[in-house]
Amino acid sequence: MAIALTPFQALCGFRPHEEIQNFFQEFPELRKVVGENNASAFILNPSEENLKNCFSFLMRSSKNVISSALKDMEEKLSSLGYQSDPFYLRDLFLNLKTHYPGDVGCFSIYLLNYIVLEPGEAIFLGPNVIHAYLHGDCIECMACSDNVVRAGLTPKYQDVDTLLAMLEYRMIAAESRKFKGSKINQFTTLFNPPVPDFAVQKIESLYSNQINNTAVKLFLCLI
C-alpha cells in the first residue's frame, strides 16, 4: 500500500483491455515493440494470455529495437496536439524518455494504469501486481518480503524472466486500485487494505492534544 504525502504519480497494474486495444490500433510504434502478431491477437481476443505474450515480447526486445521505436514514438508524439492525448500520456512518455533514455519501461505506460494521487489518497497493490512510482512522496507499507523484482525504469539489476513468470495479468481500471482512508475520530484516519497483514493510521492534530494508543505499532512522525 502506498499513501500519498504530496501529489503522486504511479503506474499500477494492467489497463482495461479496451484502452490497450485502442493504443495498439493508434500507434504502429507500439505494435512494433509488442510484436505485430501479438498485437493483432490481443485486439481480436484480449485475454490475459495474449496480454502476457505482448508484454513478454516488449520486455525481451533488443536495445536496438527499443531505441529505434522510442525515437519514432517521440517524433510522433511531438507532432500531436493535446486533443489527441485523452490519457495525458504524451508529456509522461517524453519525460520518461528524457530521464530513462533507451529504457523499455517508457512503453509500459500504454499497458499499465497511470494513476495520480492527491495527498491522503492511497493505492493498494496485491501480490504480483506490477507497479512503478514515478513522482512525488509517499508512505509505503507492505508485508515482509524479499522478492522485489525489477525490469524497467531503474538503473538497478533487472530480472525480466522472473518478473514475466510471476506477474498478475488481470486488466482492471485505475480507479479500482485507489482508496481513501476512513475517519475513526476527529484525529485519526484509518487506511485498511483488504489484507490481514497490516493497516495504517494517520493521527493528525493542530494543537497540543494527548492521544492514547496502547497497541504495539511503528510510529512515523511527519512535521
Rounded to whole angstroms, the Cα distance separating 142 from 162 reads 20
Which residues on neighbouring strands pair with residue 182, listed in sequence order?
190
Q: Residue 73: enclosing H or E segment and its boundaries?
A: helix 63-79
CB 32 within 8 A of CB 145: no
Count, in order, helices (H) and strands (E) of the chain: 7, 10
90 catalytic? Reply is: no
CB atoms within 10 A of CB 202: 17
| Catalytic entry in 15, 31, 90, 150 | 150
CB 168 within 8 A of CB 129: yes
Which residues carry out catalysis?
150
